[in-house]
Amino acid sequence: MEHWTPSNLTEFILHGFPTFQPWHCIVFGIIILMYLLTLTGNMIIIMIVRTDSNLSSPMYFFISNLSFIEIFYTSVTIPKLLALVIGRSQLISFESCLIQFYFFFSLGSTECFLLTAMSYDRYIAICKPLHYIVIMRDTVCVQLVLACWTGGFFLNLFPVLLISKLRFCGTNIQHFFCDLSPLLKLSCQSTKEIETLNFFTALFIVLFSFSVSLVTYIQIIRMVLSIPSSLGRQKAFSTCASHLTVILIFYGAIAFVYVRPRASTTFQLNQVLSMIYILVTPILNPLIYSLRNEDAKTAIRKAYLCTAKGNSNNGSK
């Protein structure tokens, strides 16, 4: 069998979704619609947080950062996926594949850490409300966000460096992006070291982050249940229900795909699950955070009315 090494391998072939090829126009339309909705929804969240003074709390600062991550997280894979669906190009260069791999997992890891920081914010807001302003001051929020970005991009650097040194015996990646399992399947060498490193990295990022969020929400639920007024309990829980929903959706799909001691061979199942956290979750986040939050809905209505009024004034001139 012919061997390709990192020194002479120039490109891979992405397998994509050959099963859906007869309906490629419909699939393309659905994906691009969801992608545009993701971009629009998250951009609106960022815009209203930056322009509306009523949304200057730490919670909205974290939400706007989450929206920023979602925009780039989906943009790492979706444009290439759209090209695959319409049959434009299945080729991706070796360097581009590694870059896509690195940014996809780094942004995903950053989102895990950011969701954990948001859990901590909700814990302080509900369980220690009198100390909230002191604990969650602006400098602390900025430091938490910087720590999320640094941790996400640093921890995924080592797997990429190890993959870049592998020899490959094939170029056909059975996926629509450079994911770990289908990429390692092409290696001529043993990948146990990389699989082990990835397992413990994923274990730390996903399970540790989720565990911290779980512990904080156990404390939150205990505190909410101790509130004597049913109206008070409902109001307290509504402030964290959106975040809890996002956590369950996001971690559910990711943990099933990546937190395993061995690389998965069920590529079709992984592709379906990948679509959930690449396309579905980024669309749901702005909807969940806006539709379940009166302050956000008010800010969106205000921004819409200002835009409509401005267009009306321009049209009357």
> Does 182 fall in a domain?
yes
Interval 242-252: pLDDT, tens: 777 778 777 77
Residue 71 lies in a domain: yes
Instruction: Evaluate whether residue 117 is within a structural domain.
Output: yes
For the stretch 47-101, pLDDT in tens is 888 887 777 889 889 989 999 999 999 999 999 888 888 877 788 888 899 999 9
What is the structure's pLDDT at 113? Answer: 94
In terms of residue numbers, what domain contains 244? Answer: 11-316
In a domain? residue 3? no
Residue 217: its H or E element? helix 209-225
Least confident of 5-9, 71-75, 285-289: 5-9
4 domain residue, yes or no: no
Angle made by CA atoms 215, 284, 225, in degrees to the nearest 5: 35
Mean local confidence (pLDDT), 186-205: 84
pLDDT at 131 over 50: yes
Query: What CATH number is given to the structural domain containing 296?
Result: 1.20.1070.10
Q: What is the pLDDT of residue 136?
A: 93
**Residue 6 within any structural domain of the chain:** no
For the entire predicted model, the pTM comes to 0.84
Residue 279 lies in a domain: yes
Tally of domains in the chain: 1
Within a domain: residue 1? no
